[in-house]
């Protein structure tokens, strides 16, 4: 999507492995560009690399994207509905604490990213608070777009991805139940 948006052609794409390996590939000149997330992207910018497309730029694309989530086998989730609901509650409560307690959030970010530089932690915190929304529901169009892209990249059968309804990949009934119970409204008031 990024290459198409900026009309970039004749690109060889490599799977380098982890974010750290992509960062090393850039630093050693093995690759000309890489997709890296914070904190690696912030460290690269600090060290003179240019950010060509930021996470804020993704909002300019006509299609929504998914970058992470919580997943379980449908059969397990059905048998363990209460556990699924409690996990979703825990995640959303974590987002609430992150937005309400900046110093705690930064200490936690420092611990798990092994970053202690105030400028990097400030940027990480802003990135995190900008990235996590109050509504944990899975957007249908984002799932449809991701399935389409996976088919185009040959990660899944393109025809099967095109013929499978997006709802086959997610179940918002858990989030709907939390909304109907008033949990989300109460949490964010």
**Running along the chain, 189 residues long, what does each successive block of 10 average in pLDDT?**
79 85 93 89 92 75 70 94 96 95 95 92 90 88 88 90 92 96 95
Provide the residue range defining the domain that includes 10. Answer: 2-60
Instruction: With respect to residue 182, please indicate whether it lies within any of the assigned structural domains.
Output: no
Q: How many domains does the chain have?
A: 1
Rounded CA gap, 111 and 16, in Å? 26
Which of 188, 189, 142 is closest to 167 using CA atoms?
142
- pLDDT at residue number 87: 96
Query: Model-level pTM?
Result: 0.78
Polymer length of the chain:
189
pLDDT digits 0-9 by tens, 119-147: 999 999 998 888 888 899 998 988 998 89
Q: What is the pLDDT of residue 93?
A: 96
Per the domain annotation, does 77 fall within a domain?
Answer: no
In a domain, residue 39? The reply is yes
Asked if 115 contacts 124 with a C-beta cutoff of 8 angstroms, the reply is yes
Cis peptide before 16 (omega within 30 of 0): no
Residue 168 DSSP symbol = G
Biggest CA pair distance of the chain: 53
């Amino acid at each position: 999507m990024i290459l198409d948006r900026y009309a970039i052609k004749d690109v060889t794409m490599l799977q380098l492995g982890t974010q750290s390996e992509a960062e090393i590939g850039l630093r050693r000149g093995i690759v000309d560009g890489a997709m890296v997330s914070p904190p690696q992207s912030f460290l690269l910018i600090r060290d003179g690399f240019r950010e060509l497309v930021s996470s804020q730029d993704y909002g300019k694309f006509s299609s929504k994207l998914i970058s992470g989530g919580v997943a379980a086998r449908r059969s397990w989730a059905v048998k363990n509905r209460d556990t699924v609901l409690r996990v979703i509650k825990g995640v959303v409560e974590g987002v609430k604490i992150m937005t309400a307690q900046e110093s705690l959030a930064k200490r936690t970010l420092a611990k798990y990213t092994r970053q202690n530089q105030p400028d990097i932690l400030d940027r990480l915190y802003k990135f995190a608070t900008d990235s996590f929304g109050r509504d944990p529901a899975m957007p249908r169009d984002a799932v449809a777009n991701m399935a389409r892209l996976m088919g185009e990249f040959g990660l899944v059968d393109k025809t099967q991805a095109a013929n499978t309804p997006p709802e086959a990949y997610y179940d918002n009934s858990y989030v709907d139940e939390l909304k109907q119970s008033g949990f989300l409204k109460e949490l964010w008031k």
